[in-house]
């Protein structure tokens, strides 16, 4: 028989205190919440750092300067074909690989003749190019727009344009000796 009027406040389990058990559960929940906030903050920080690194690796900043064009060449009826050097400086924050260089306008055709050149951040390299000039129209005062195909650290290929002044350059001087 069970007496329901009994005012005995003893716990149902020996050694169990409902107030202490509630505090333990609340403390466990607070600890789990704090751990979740800390781990979430670390994860977000890592995600931001990774995104910033990817953005830095995607930046391409190059400077191109004509160098000597006396690596060999030929002249035929007012047209000159030369092999020369193009100095390329990587002013960007990450290494890039120059895959190719091309340019074309009336009187001028340029293309790289080597496979690729790795340029570290802040580094300089020379690309061997083949140049064809029409002696009467090639050396105008407006710059020649070079198209550089580069691969960035994220393995993507990008096209970059850079204007180069031909008139007064070493390429101009070397070509004029053959015209």
In this predicted structure, the answer to whether residue 125 has a pLDDT above a threshold of 80 is yes
- From 45, 148, 142, 131, select the one nearest 81 (Cα to Cα): 131
Architecture in CATH for domain 62-176: Sandwich (2.60)
Average pLDDT over residues 155-168: 90
pLDDT in tens, 134-148: 988 878 888 999 999
Q: Quick check: 109 and 134 in contact, CB under 8 A?
A: no
> What pLDDT, on the 0 to 100 scale, is given for residue 57?
61
Under the phi-then-psi rule, with left for phi > 0, alpha for psi from -120 to 50, and beta for the rest, what region is 72? left
d(CA 25, CA 28): 5
pLDDT in tens, 95-106: 999 999 999 999
Tell the residue number behind the tokens 């006396």, with chain if given.
70
pTM of the model: 0.67
For residue 65, what pLDDT band results from cuts at 50, 70 and 90?
Answer: very high
What the block records as the tokens of 62 is 């190059």
d(CA 62, CA 59): 10
């Amino acid at each position: 028989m069970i007496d329901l009027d009994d005012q005995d406040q003893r716990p149902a389990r020996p050694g169990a205190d409902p107030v202490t058990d509630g505090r333990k559960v609340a403390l466990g929940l607070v600890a789990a919440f704090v751990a979740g906030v800390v781990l979430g903050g670390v994860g977000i920080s890592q995600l931001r750092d990774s995104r910033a690194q990817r953005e830095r690796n995607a930046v391409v900043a190059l400077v191109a300067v004509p160098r000597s064009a006396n690596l060999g060449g030929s002249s035929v009826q007012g047209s000159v074909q030369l092999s020369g050097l193009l100095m390329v400086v990587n002013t960007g924050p990450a290494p890039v690989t120059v895959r190719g260089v091309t340019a074309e306008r009336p009187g001028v055709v340029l293309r790289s003749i080597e496979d690729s050149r790795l340029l570290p951040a802040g580094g300089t390299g020379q690309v061997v190019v083949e140049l064809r000039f029409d002696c009467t129209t090639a050396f105008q005062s407006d710059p020649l727009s070079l198209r550089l195909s580069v691969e960035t650290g994220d393995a993507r290929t990008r096209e970059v344009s850079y204007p180069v002044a031909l008139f007064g350059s070493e390429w101009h001087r070397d070509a004029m000796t053959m015209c």
